Structure formats: structure tokens, C-alpha cells
Chains A and B, each alone.
Chain A
Amino acid sequence: MRQSGRTRVAVDAARASASTLERRGIDVKGELFRAVLLFCVVIGVVMLATLLIYVTIAGWPRLDVNLFTQMPSTRDPQTSGFLPAIVGTIYVMFGVLITTVPIGVSAAIYLEEYADASKWYNRFIETNIQNLAAVPSIVFGILGLAFIVRGPWGLGFVAFAGSLTLMMMVLPTVIIASREAIRGVPSTLRQASLGLGATRWQTVSRQVLPVAFPGVLTGTILAMSRAIGETAPLLLVGATTFVRFLPEGLFEGAYSVMTVQIFQWAMRPQEEFRTLAAAGSIVLVALLLLMNSVAIWLRNKYSREY
């Protein structure tokens, strides 16, 4: 079956090329095709440029100190700011970081170093992680609403509920990236360590993990930048309330985050609030670009060949 597929491809190609051998000069069709392909790439690039230029121009007038130091106000868009949202984002992201990294890296270590892939439950775990990566983000919000905010945990609409919801969403990203990093560690390192009498955990914790660290870090940064940019699930777990004070802590008090605040400003019909939303977007996009560049830089700097 496979063979016949490849043969068919080869025959098609040969037949097609037999006809071209007779032609000379510029391949008009080919050039046109190339132009269409180039156009496909250019759409994306042009759109990115337009978006960045639009956001910068629209938000520029309000990119000032007040944006970072003032409370939001529905009456006075000129001096309204993102302070509670910025603090809230830091709280929520701290919660995501301290939960996602230990769980994600542990899961990756188990799957790469200990799991016997022929056992059904290990394969089941892997399939599950792949499926989780494809679940729409808003469904995690529903899960957070039913199990974390209400239900068995009953945390209420607090920052840590947002953290746990986002943790479930970005966990697959961290697991997949950490697994790749661990897989990249040459097996000779492990054999040498085990051969010298180290236990498995000693080998993993003292040899494998330090070598895999840059890869794990890159994956973590990418996961965190995804979490910072996420809005939809947080709408369901309480980040919607219009907050005019700083969050009291991870486990108490209402909270807001940057993305939700941008959403709320953007949905107001007055132009001044759109400006405010665009100014917040500049800050957010700049932060994410910085995080992504650091991740790419780390990847390039530490990608060692063995």
C-alpha cells in the first residue's frame, strides 16, 4: 500500500516532467505559483505590521505614567489606569508558575525516564495530554467555575482560582517542552551515572535535569506568556469584576488581570476607552515579545550538540 502510494507519486512526477522537457523559456505558470505562495506569507507579515502599527498609534496618547499607577475609572478615561490589573496579573501568574512548573516537570520526568510505554496506562496518560492541548480554552474556564470557584474546592472568585484554571490550560505546553528537553539529554550521560552506582533519581536530578534545564526554562517562559495573554477562561472564574482596589491576596478578594481589563475598555463605545485599551495592549504585547525573545535567545544559546 505504502509502496504503491510512492510509486504513484513518482509516476505522476515523471509524466508531468516529460511534458515540460519540451518547453523552453520562462515558466509562466511556475512563476505565478511562486507569486501566489509568496502572497500567502506576505498576508501574515503585513497583517502583523498593520496590527502593531494600529495598536501603537491608537494607544500612544495614553501611554503615560497614569496607565501604570492609576485605578480604572469609568468616568475619567484621561487619567484611568491599569494598576489593579497589573498587580492582579502578577498575582495570578505567580500562582500559575508555582503550580505548573513542579507538576509539569515531574510529569515530563515520569513519562521520559520512568514510564514503560508498553503499559496501557502510560499510553493513556500521553493521549490525554495531547487531547488536553486541543481543548478550547473557554472549556477550562467552565471547569474552573464548576470545580475550583464553586463545587468541591469552593475557593470563590479569587486570584488563585484564576491561577489553577490557567495552570490546567498551559500544563500540556510545559510537559511537552520539558519532555523534549529531557529526551535531548544523551543517554551516555545516564549510563555513566548509573554505571558509577548512582540511583535512578540521583541520575535524573543531578545529571539529566541540569542539562535539560535551558529547554525546560524555554518551555516555561512560553507557557507563561500564553497564560498572560489568555482572557476567555478568566472571564468565567471571576476576573470580570470591575476592581477599583488592589487584590488582597492569592486567596481572598476580587481581582482583575490585564487582558480582561483591556477587554472591558475595548467594549465601551467611547473612543477614549478604546485608546486606553490600545495603550494596555501595547504594554501587554511588548511584555510578551520580550518574553518570547528571551525564550528564543535561551534556546539558541544553550542548544548544545552532543
Chain B
Amino acid sequence: MALLTAPTEPSSVGPPLSLEPSSRRLGEKFIVALLFGAAALAVLITVGIVLAIAGPTIEFFRQVPFSRFFSTEAWAPNFVPDGFGVYNILAGTAAIVLYSCMIALPAGLGAAIYLNEYASHRARRILKPVLEVLEGIPTVVYGLFALAFVAPLLQEIWPTFVPGKLGDPPGFQFVLSAGVVLGIMIIPTVASVSQDAMSAIPHGLREAAYGLGSTKMQVATKVVVPSAFSGIVASFVLGLSRAVGETMVVLMAAGAIANLTLWPNDPVLTMTAFIGRTATGDVGFGTTTYYTLFAVAALLFVITLVVNMISIALVRKFREVYE
């Protein structure tokens, strides 16, 4: 206003023009408020999750003391006598994560390097959509595949390949079948995030290495992987947290027995499978079993949150910025 109304010499062409809008445009403000509300809903959902979990979890710990939840007793929340040693199902999750990540992380990284550094343009155009399809198949179908195809297959070949104590062939639900299928399910996630990081590396770095006489393998392992390190770490953590949070495959193929074991031929119960299995049965509202669901969900939520935060910190620490 001041700029317009105070020219250096008196204006001769009529009254000064105002740039202020002629109306106050309340409709515009209303729309902005609506849009802001939609965006803020994301925050509300997070708050909702925390509130939804916190209340019943507090109620759970009122009925079952903290010391029992983190003790070495058995896991049997809906049995008499009951047991609430959560480490049993934590160990189940750990066993599944171990086997699935043993497959998903190296294979995902390898696939990313191949797609980004080795594959021809045409091969990439075919392989990337194939991996995307792999990502889009419903988890319940993976579960069926693990239960009805992979498990019988592993049972069949087990005695031939595994001697000694491990030689007992597994039952119809066990760690390895769920772990293998889950691992393969996660490969595309790890591969696509890793590859995004690799494709962001400027070509100059590669060309410099080639110019100095490096082989393709040296460029891949000594230039590309170190330069994309933060993205690779992020992809690993993402894969890990998907393995922790996945429900259907472990619910269907890993078993129902809370078991402290890392043996591939034992059945285990994971945290997610416990929630899924208990919810499928008849859970009376307000029973201790009902509250147990929330206590386990709280632990699951905290674990994935911590893993996520570690990922963000690691990515920040190793981030390389290229112009």
C-alpha cells in the first residue's frame, strides 16, 4: 500500500490502485481450512493409534504386573493357569526375521546392483515390472503358498539334506517355510529402495573409476555401494520392519506354539500371529485376553517406531549429497 500511494512525484492518472482483493474471499479461507483438516487427519490417526493402544495396555498392566510380562514364564494368556512371558513370542518374531532377512537383504541388494549396473535397458524394462508384481500379490496368497506348497516341499527334501539333530522333518507349520516365503516377499521392497539410491549417484563417479581402469565389479562394490550406502541402509531397515510387522504369512505357515527357538524346523508364534490368531477366535470384550492383544500391539508399535527412528538416524549419518 505504502509503495503504491507514495510515489516520488504526484500521480496524474486518477486515484491510486489497490492490490488488496476486493472481497475478503472467505470461501478461499474456508477451503484452506478444509484442506488443512484433511492433512491434519494423518496426525489424528497417529494420535488415535497411541490412544487406542495406551488405554487398554494400561488396563492390561493393572491386571497383569509388569514383572510377569517381562518374565521367563510361559506364553499362555488364554489358558489356566495363564502365563504372560512375552519373550516367547518376541523370540518367535526374531526367528522369522532372522530367516527372512537372510534371504531378503542380500538378494534385494544383489538384485538392485544387477538392475542398476548390469542389466540392459530392455532387461530392466521387463524385470522391474516383474518385481512390482511380486510386491502386489496379496499376503494371504503368499501364506497359502507357504502352507500348501513350500512346507510340504521342505518336509519332503528335509531328510536328504539335513543330518543330525536337525534331521527331524518339520511338521506342517514351521519357521523355515514362513521365513523363506516372507524373505522372497520382501526382496522387491529392498531392491527398489536400494536401486533408487543407486540411480541417484552421478555418473561422473562411475566414469572416473572406469577411467582409472576399474572393472565393472570394482565400480559396483567400491563406488556404487559405498556411495549409495545411506539408501541401502534405509532399504534394509525397511525390509526388517516389514518382516517384523507382517502377519498373514506367519499366521498361516509358522505355527501356533509360543516357542523359544531358532531352529528352522520348529513351529513358532510371532507377535503379529498372536494378534491375528486371537482376534480370529472369540475374544470377550474386557477379558484379560482382550487386553493382551493391545499390550502386544503396543510392543509391536514401539519396536517398529524404534526401528524406523534408527533408520532415519542412520540415513542422516551416512547421507551423501550430490549436486
**Residue positions of A touching B, CB distance < 8 A:** 2, 5-6, 9-10, 12-14, 16-18, 20-21, 27, 29-30, 33-34, 36-41, 43-45, 47-48, 50-51, 54-55, 58, 102-104, 106-107, 109-111, 114-115, 124-125, 128-129, 131-132, 134-143, 145-147, 150-151, 168, 171-172, 175, 199-201, 225-226, 228-232, 235-236, 240, 259-260, 262-263, 266-267, 274, 277-278, 281, 284-285, 288-289, 292, 296
Task: Evaluate contact between A40 and B106: CB separation under 8 angstroms.
Answer: yes
User: B43 at interface (Cβ–Cβ under 8 A)?
Assistant: yes
How far apart sit A281 and B276, CA to CA, in the bound complex (Å)?
Answer: 20
- The chain A residue sitting closest to B309, CB to CB, is A131
| B-side interface mostly | helix
CB neighbours of A172 from chain B (8 A): 42
Task: Evaluate contact between A171 and B42: CB separation under 8 angstroms.
Answer: yes
Q: Given that A10-B209, A232-B139 are known contacts, is A44 also in contact with B217, CB under 8 Å in the complex?
A: no
Task: Evaluate contact between B218 and A16: CB separation under 8 angstroms.
Answer: yes
Chain B interface category by residue count:
35 or more
CB neighbours of B111 from chain A (8 A): 37, 40-41, 44
Within 8 Å by CB of B217, from A21, A30, A54, A128, lies A30
Chain B window 9-40, contacts with chain A (Cβ cutoff 8 Å), 1 for yes, 0 for no: 00000000000000001011001101111111
Q: Interface with A: B67-75, B80-88, B94-102, B244-252, which one? A: B244-252
CB neighbours of A259 from chain B (8 A): 138, 140
CB A217 to nearest CB in B, in angstroms, measures: 17
CB B21 to nearest CB in A, in angstroms, measures: 8
Query: Known pairs A41-B115, A292-B136. 18 more at Cβ < 8 A?
Result: A9-B223, A13-B219, A17-B209, A33-B220, A36-B110, A37-B110, A40-B114, A55-B144, A103-B38, A124-B43, A132-B46, A134-B304, A136-B272, A138-B247, A142-B53, A145-B279, A225-B136, A274-B144
How far apart sit A27 and B216, CA to CA, in the bound complex (Å)?
Answer: 10
User: B76 at interface (Cβ–Cβ under 8 A)?
Assistant: no
Task: Evaluate contact between B52 and A147: CB separation under 8 angstroms.
Answer: yes
Within 8 Å by CB of A136, from B127, B187, B245, lies B245
